[in-house]
Amino acid sequence: MKMKPISLQLYTLRGDSQKDFRKVLKQVARIGFKGVEPAGLYGMKPAEFRTQVEDLGMIVSSSHGPWASPDNLQEVIDTAGELKTDLVSSGFGADGFSSMDAIRKTADTVNGMCETLLKAGLTLFLHNHWWEFEEVAGDLAFRHLAELCSDVKFEIDTYWAANFGKVDPVAIVAEYAGRAPLLHIKDGPLVKEEMQLPLGAGKMDVPAVIAAADSAVLQWLVVELDDFDGEMLSAVEESYKYLVENNLGVGNKL
């Protein structure tokens, strides 16, 4: 598969971003990332943020803000236009997948948002956590939702999709490769409540996960760490180097 560009989910560096967001963007560019996926702009306007990112030699790969809901779709549309991205995000808590009735209700919400966003030229993608990969009514909650929402795409968080070893994330990526323009690539011990690790330092088969994607559909590999027991920027840089040095993704620097 042709190597895909590497982006960083900026939630990873939320602590430093609260102190000096512009400095964080410069650090991410210095490491070599081709893109960033914001989750909050820390007081910057969307167009101002995009200009800063582009001036640093990167682009906005996608966005986690504002998180799409039925009540804020015009804001989502407007922000996407300023960020120059056609990929907008949403997701749901565990209650949205707790039963088939809950999943049907979630699906109705997703389908309604998709209809509005598609008319605006935008693609809605859902970002998962581990609870979508619990079984409900004899199958994975994620699978039920995917069947009920034919227009939605996915940013598969490959670590959470493993559900701490209960599910094969490689099989999940392969199954939904045609609907996954984005992958969250992360690593860790696959133990609930234990912190994640830089790519290559945990139990995820990262090369197999990436290889399972559809090269014609996948647009970005998005690095993310939700938590780490150490200096987060170092973990980010180590993760970037792992992808580049193992010919798994492409950045602006070797």
Set out the domains of the chain in order of their start, with CATH numbers: 4-250 (3.20.20.150)
What local confidence, expressed as pLDDT, does residue 1 receive?
Answer: 75
The answer to whether 128 and 160 are in contact (CB under 8 A) is: yes
Higher pLDDT, 24 or 65: 24
What local confidence, expressed as pLDDT, does residue 109 receive?
Answer: 98
Read off the pLDDT band of 254 (50, 70, 90): confident
Q: Compute the distance between CA of residue 1 and CA of residue 149 in angstroms, rounded to an integer.
A: 28
Counting DSSP H helices and E strands in the chain, the numbers are 9, 11
Tokens of 227: 């938590």
Whose structure tokens read 């389908």?
Answer: 111
Nearest to 23 by CA among 39, 47, 6, 44: 44
pLDDT in tens, 93-108: 999 999 999 999 999 9
What local confidence, expressed as pLDDT, does residue 38 receive?
Answer: 97
Q: Compute the distance between CA of residue 41 and CA of residue 15 in angstroms, rounded to an integer.
A: 13
Read off the pLDDT band of 172 (50, 70, 90): very high
When pLDDT is averaged across residues 7-12 and rounded to a whole number, the result is 98
What local confidence, expressed as pLDDT, does residue 128 receive?
Answer: 98
Residue 174 has pLDDT above 90, yes or no: yes
Q: Compute the distance between CA of residue 52 and CA of residue 58 in angstroms, rounded to an integer.
A: 9
What local confidence, expressed as pLDDT, does residue 65 receive?
Answer: 87
- φ/ψ bin of 113: left (φ > 0), alpha (ψ from -120 to 50), beta (otherwise): alpha
Render 90-129 in DSSP notation, one character per residue.
E---GGGGSSHHHHHHHHHHHHHHHHHHHHTT-EEEEE--
Q: What's the whole-model pTM score?
A: 0.97
User: Which residues in 22-42 are b (16+ Cβ under 10 Å) and which e?
Assistant: eebbebbbebbbbbbbbbbbe
Higher pLDDT, 1 or 161: 161
